Structures are given as C-alpha cells and as structure tokens.
Amino acid sequence: MRLQSLNCPNCGSPLRTENNMQICDSCGSTFRIDYDDSDVAYERLSKEDEIARQRFEHEKEMLETEYRLKEEARIKQAKYEKSEARKKRAANKVKALISLLIMLGVFCGFMFLVFMVIKGESLFDVEKIAGTTTTETTVSPYLIDASDVLADDEFMENAVASVLSEIHSSRDGKPVTIYDIPITDWYMTDEPEIYDCYLLTSEKENRLCFLVKYTYQSERDEDDIKEVYDCLYLRNITVGNNGKISSDYAVRIDRGEGATNWTWVAAEDSDQLYRSAILAQSEFSRDKVILPVSILPSNETEETLEETDEDDDADSDEDYDED
C-alpha cells in the first residue's frame, strides 16, 4: 500500500474520507484511495482475525457456563447424598432403639413370669396385686383438704381435745405477772375460745392450725379484762387408704414474728397473729376450716351443768332434811 498525503495537493487544506474517497472541503477537490493487492489481503486477514477472536470469546464463555452449571449440579448432588445418609443413620438408630426396647420388654416379661412361677401365684393374682400397688403408690398421703378433715369426726374431736389439753396444762392456775407498781397478777378466766382454724398443706407436710383467744382478769380489779391470742397447731397430718386422717397429736406453737408479747406469752393483736402465723407460711396452701359447734368447748354448757349440779345437791339436802 502506498501512502498519500492527507492534505489537498491543490490548496493544502485537510482532506476527509467518505466512501473510500478523500474530499477537500476548501476547494472541492476529490481524490480516490488507491488499494493494491496487499491492502486487500491485509483487510481480509484483519477480518478473519476479528472473527476468530469473537469465536474464541464465545467458546470460552460457553465453556465457563458449562463448568459453572456442572459444579452447581455436583454441589447439589453432594448435599442431597449427605442429607440422605444422615436420614438413613437416624432411621437406623430409631430401629436399633425400638429393637432394644422390644428385647428389654420381652426379657422383663420373661423374668416376671419366672418370678411369679417361682412364687407360685397365678397371672390373674399378679395383675390384681400390681394394680393395687400402683394405686397405692400414686396417691400421696398429704393430698387432703378441709372437707377431708371435717369428714373425720374422730380426728377432729381428738385434735380439739389435744389443743385444749395443751392449753390447760400450760396455763391453768398459772398467773401472768405484770411488773408495775404494785405488782399485779392476772388469771385466765372461762374456757379458752378457739375462734378460727386453718389447714395448711404442702407436698411434704400438712398443718392444722387453731387460733385461740384467752381471757385474763386482774386480781386487783374484776372489771379489768385482757384478751390475748395464740396459734397452736398439729403437724404430720396424713390420710390413709381408708380415708381416715391420722396425726401424732403433738401440739406445737407458732406465733410468728411481730405479734408476740412475752409478758403474756401470747399475741395481743389477733390480726397480726393471723398474718404472722398463717399468711406468712408461703410454702403452704391455705384452706379455712369451719369447725362444727358440737366439738368446741362451751362455757355456757359448763355453767348450765354446774347450776344443774347445784340444784341436784340442793334437792338432795332437802330430801335429807325431810328424812
């Protein structure tokens, strides 16, 4: 290929190429580019090289896409195979565990039958004994409520009698001495009044609490009356298979804190005693027990009995005089 000047030979102005022609915009002259055989061969080779390069890029892109798809498929297959292997191992473990449980059940059943044959009891008797044992072991002896204790009249009578016996043994004839000037003794009058009762229950212990009121009279002034309060309770309260309530009937005292006056060895505030001795027992469930009048001591009954005895004595004296 021969090189030609890019300036117009007529006026020297720059030429522009258009449709294989060189055109001078200044003077309007046009010139044709003269290609020889080598120029044609070069142009053909340039096109072939571009075509080859494009074909190579296309094939490269196709190979990369194919490799990526194959790699994604391989990874997916590996995950699937791993998941299936894990499921298979889990199923084998479950099967092995079921087989072991079946074998253990068969062995235990066989040993049970051997034991019963040696013991000489029939299968029917064994089932009966097993059912009774299961019932006895599943029922807790501490599962009672207020209706259970009230239903057992003998227990309630003994419980009240135990509390009254403890009160009389610890307070009858024992004055409370108040160290003022002069020193004054106070004596308990009438029968102590059981004015409230609560059943405190838990999974390990039950308590039957009696709230008692004592009335004291001053030796210096019969009209000077003092009322104090106490909480006495029974513990180890359980229910047997026959529904009977049992206890050791050992009376204990719990006045709590904040209500006790150690001069009186009792509480002066009944509301505070309730809060300290009943409400403060947070580990227990609380159930109020409405005590029947028939088991409570009655001062009026005792006075009536005393009057009746006096009348009988008077009648006897009259009969003796007449004789």
pLDDT of 166: 93
Specify whether 193 is located in the same domain as 308.
yes
Q: Please tell me whether residues 276 and 310 are part of one structural domain.
A: yes
Are residues 295 and 166 located together in one domain of the fold? yes
pLDDT band at 320; cut points 50, 70, 90: very low
Last residue within a domain, chosen from 114, 138, 162: 138
Of 83, 90, 208, 223, whose CA–CA distance to 149 is shortest? 208
- In-domain check, residue 162: yes
What are the angstrom distances between the C-alpha of 172 and each of 165, 192, 254, 303, 304? 10, 10, 20, 18, 21
pLDDT at 116: 79
Q: How confident is the model at residue 151 (pLDDT cuts 50, 70, 90)?
A: very high
Model pLDDT for residues 276-306, shown as the tens digit of each residue: 999 999 899 999 999 988 888 765 444 434 4
Q: What is the pLDDT of residues 63-112, one digit of tens each?
A: 999 999 999 999 999 989 988 999 999 999 999 999 999 999 999 988 88
* Cα Dmax for the chain: 190
Last residue of a domain, one of 111, 138, 165: 138
Q: pTM above 0.85? A: no
My answer on whether 113 and 197 are in the same domain is no
- Same-domain check for residues 155 and 304: yes
Which of 40-44, 54-58, 232-236 is the least confident region? 40-44
Same domain membership, residue 166 and residue 79: no
Give the phi and the psi of residue 187 in degrees, each rounded to 5. -120, 140
Q: How far is CA 192 from CA 77, 210, 287, in A?
A: 89, 11, 23
What domain range includes position 114? 63-138
Q: Please, which pLDDT band fits residue 245 given cuts at 50, 70 and 90?
A: very high
Residue 44 lies in a domain: no
Residue 237's nearest CA partner among 210, 204, 212, 211 is 204
CA gap 311, 315 in Å, rounded: 6
- Whether the CB-CB separation of 197 and 232 falls below 8 Å is answered with no
Give the Cα separation of 234 and 3 in Å (integer). Answer: 130
pLDDT band at 257 (very low <50, low <70, confident <90, very high): confident
Count of structural domains, the chain:
2
- Domain contains 11: no
| Residue 19 covered by a domain | no
Mean of per-residue pLDDT scores for the chain: 81
Q: Is residue 24 part of a domain?
A: no
- Where a domain ends, among 113, 138, 163? 138
Residue 234 is predicted with a pLDDT of 95
What's the pLDDT tens digit per position in 46-63?
788 888 888 888 889 999
Pair 170, 298 in one domain? yes
Examine residue 321 and state whether it is found in any structural domain, yes or no: no
Judge whether 12 lies within some domain: no
202 has pLDDT over 80: yes
The DSSP secondary structure of 6-30, one letter per residue, reads SB-TTT--BEEEETTEEEETTT--E
225, 186 contact by CB (below 8 A): no
